[in-house]
Amino acid sequence: MSRWGRTARRIPRQFAVVWWLQLKMLAADAFSGILQIVWPLFFATTAFLMFRISGDHELVFYAGLGATVMGIWSSVAASSSSALQRERWLGTLELIVSAPMPFALVLSSITTAMATIGLYSMVATLIWGWLVFGMSLHIVQPIAFGCAVVVLVFAIAMIGFLLSVTVVRYRSAWAIGSLLECPVWLLCGLLVPVALLPVWVRPLSYVLPPTWGVRAMREAASGTSPWVSLLVCAVLGGAYALMAALIGRSLLKSARRQATLALT
Amino acid sequence: MSAVEAIDLRRSFSSRTSVLRRAKETVEAVRGVSFVIERGEIFGLLGPNGAGKTTTIKMLITLLLPSSGSAKVLGYDVARDAVKVRRRIGYAFGGDRGLYDRLSAQDNLRYFAELYAVPPRTQRARIGELLELVGLRGREKERVEGYSRGMRQRLHIARALLHDPAVLFLDEPSIGIDPVGARELRATVAALAGQGKTILLTTHYMFEADELCDRIAVIGSGRILAEGTPADLKSRVRGGRVLEVETFGVLDESVDDVRRLDGVRSVTVEARTQSQVLHVSMDSEAELTAAVLGRIGDVRVGRVASREPTLEDAYVELIGER
């Protein structure tokens, strides 16, 4: 097999193993796991109570799907902004940096694991909405819906990847993640449609992948074609990943040259 | 071709003094370090805290770029060929950190095996071999959070060996380990040298360096102060003797008086729980026991003994000469 062939086989495997073992670590933390389930339910409950007043079941479903994504974003915003700090505390950051596997690949696997853990909250929110608020769980295109969830998780993970390399120099990086939590809920139309936002805000919404991801989920659930929204979501996710990889690369160069990034 | 070659390696760090007063402070951590390590050699880098040992290692393992000078590992430049160097070296440091506590030893090794692109077909066998080598076979499925420091340290070494590197950098690997654990660790390092690995070891423990290293460089304030085999370094204080005097409450002025005696090369004071032990390095022909005891004054004196100099005496003398 050629060198390129070996590399092409190695990269997905490296990504998958790092993702799986990081996920195993995150899942081993029972307290965080419970928080991951319970905490988003408060926001979901607020959304359900607000939209139930209308008496429109479709509207409740619309809000319910948005609420499921809120949990995934919250998980990524809080954890990915401190992802590198966590590696630094564990003393593994310099081992990751000095390993031959590209730093961007390791870090994107880590943030993907963080986004995957957010699926706990998605499932919990759907069950909560169904049990307590009588939300319908009827999905017209289940396969397309599943694809939308996978692409959305990937895209949110890539925003997390960008966030983690951008804020790495700040000791209180976690606070920046928390600061971004609510604005993204609003900008991406998780609670209210993007069409209701002021016109000058909308371009911001359209460059955020969750806007398209949640739209694809809603389209798949209601039976309209989700593939365009899904494609835009995936392309934007890829663009975020590329930006993060480039920033990460220059950050490491700078860290080696100026010793500005304490690697221990 | 040598395994490691450092030529006039320098590294300085700049920092700002405060937010308001933006004066720039530059600290030179490494000031022109040069040495060569031949293949299969165990080379010790000894020095006090802040001497520049870890900074030197970090330049050699490509985590830091040298401010000036150059270094090569197996012929590859550490600044230009970082990825090639990384594929051929292993790095382990002392202490509790550097592992994922919530994963088992086996999963930790699997994780790092991927990072070092160990082929999947050989991964399982390689992890098994390494667990055997570091004596963790049978405990590999336990989470690392339950491991003792000695076990963690051995796991660190196994991690550093996953991709079968030709050169291994061990930065104070035995720090904080109990004597039995440290002995096992030394046996592991010796076994690796037996397999032909080149090892750069930093340590504070002189007997460890004496037992393991083929050659040693003593580093202080970022400069190499002396380099040679342990026997070479000991011979620097050979031709002399060391008088050890246990005292209870000796005064600093009395120690200075001892230093001023003719024939005394250096004096160090080792503080113990209730006593202080003076290590008086002196010329062999000098008979100074009575004179030393006379200068100590009226304080209570315990054990008095004379002995041959050790590597530690050589080290203390070298560091004291700075």
pTM of the predicted protein model:
0.81
Number of structural domains in chain A: 1
- Phi, psi (rounded to 5 degrees) for B213: -85, 140
pLDDT, position A264: 45
Is B77 part of a structural domain of the chain?
A: yes
ipTM of the complex model = 0.85
Sheet holding B276-283, edge to edge: B264-271, B276-283, B240-248, B300-307
pLDDT, position A260: 64
Is B116 part of a structural domain of the chain?
A: yes
∠ CA B88-A17-B76 to the nearest 5 degrees?
Answer: 15
Question: Nearest by CB to B114, which of A17, A25, A95?
Answer: A17
Q: What is the pLDDT of residues B56-106, one digit of tens each?
A: 999 999 999 999 999 999 999 999 999 899 999 999 887 778 899 999 999
The CA distance from B123 to A144, in Å, is: 37
The residue-averaged pLDDT of A222-248 equals 93
A vs B, Cβ pairs < 8 A, gives: 81
Domain ranges, residue B314:
239-320
pLDDT, position B295: 86
pLDDT, position B17: 65
Is A104 part of a structural domain of the chain?
A: yes
Q: What is the pLDDT of residues A50-71, one digit of tens each?
A: 887 777 777 778 888 888 888 8
User: Within this chain, do residues B86 and B20 fall inside the same structural domain, yes or no?
Assistant: yes
- Decide if A258 touches B, using CB distance below 8 A: yes
Confidence category of residue A75, pLDDT binned at 50, 70, 90: confident
Which residue is listed with tokens 């690369």? Answer: A249
SS3 state at A53: coil
Domain CATH number, residue B245: 3.30.70.100
Q: Are B26 and B14 in contact (CB under 8 A)?
A: yes
Is B234 part of a structural domain of the chain?
A: no
- Phi, psi (rounded to 5 degrees) for B164: 55, 55
The residue-averaged pLDDT of B152-161 equals 90
Number of structural domains in chain B: 2
pLDDT, position A1: 64
Q: What is the pLDDT of residues B175-185, one digit of tens each?
A: 777 788 788 88
Is A135 part of a structural domain of the chain?
A: yes
Q: What is the pLDDT of residues A149-199, one digit of tens each?
A: 999 999 999 999 998 888 877 777 778 878 888 888 889 988 888 888 899
The residue-averaged pLDDT of A235-251 equals 93
Mutate to test the interface with A, among B55, B111, B149, B172 (most CBs of A within 10 A): B111
Q: What is the pLDDT of residues B12-51, one digit of tens each?
A: 887 766 666 666 778 888 999 999 999 999 999 988 888 8
Closest CA to A40 of A95, A120, A100, A105: A120
Confidence category of residue B126, pLDDT binned at 50, 70, 90: very high
Name the residue with higher pLDDT: B286 or A114.
A114
In angstroms, what CA-CA distances link A49 with A59, A66, A181, B78?
A: 11, 14, 21, 61
**Contacts with A14 from chain B: Cβ below 8 Å:** 114-115, 117
The CA distance from A236 to A210, in Å, is: 9
In angstroms, what CA-CA distances link B290 with B209, B247, B259?
A: 34, 14, 14
User: Within this chain, do residues B249 and B215 fall inside the same structural domain, yes or no?
Assistant: no
Query: Hey, are the CB atoms on B97 and A92 less than 8 Å from each other?
Result: yes
Q: What is the DSSP string of B89-149?
A: EEEEESSS-SS-TTSBHHHHHHHHHHHTT--HHHHHHHHHHHHHHTT-TT-TTSBGGG--H
User: Within this chain, do residues B273 and B154 fall inside the same structural domain, yes or no?
Assistant: no
Among A54-68, B114-128, B245-259, which stretch is predicted with the lowest mean pLDDT? Answer: A54-68
pLDDT, position B112: 95
Of B189, B204, B228, the one marking the end of a domain is B228
Task: Give Cβ neighbours of residue A240 (< 8 Å, ≥ 6 apart).
Answer: A155, A158, A159, A161, A162, A209
Is residue A2's pLDDT more than 80? Answer: no
DSSP state of A6: H
Question: Nearest by CB to A92, which of B91, B100, B117?
Answer: B100
Q: What is the dihedral of CA A134, A140, A145, A146, to 10 degrees?
A: 90
Work out the mean pLDDT of chain B and round it to a whole number. 86
pLDDT, position B20: 63
Name the residue with higher pLDDT: A1 or A250.
A250
Is residue A79's pLDDT more than 50? Answer: yes
* Strand-pair partners of B104: B143
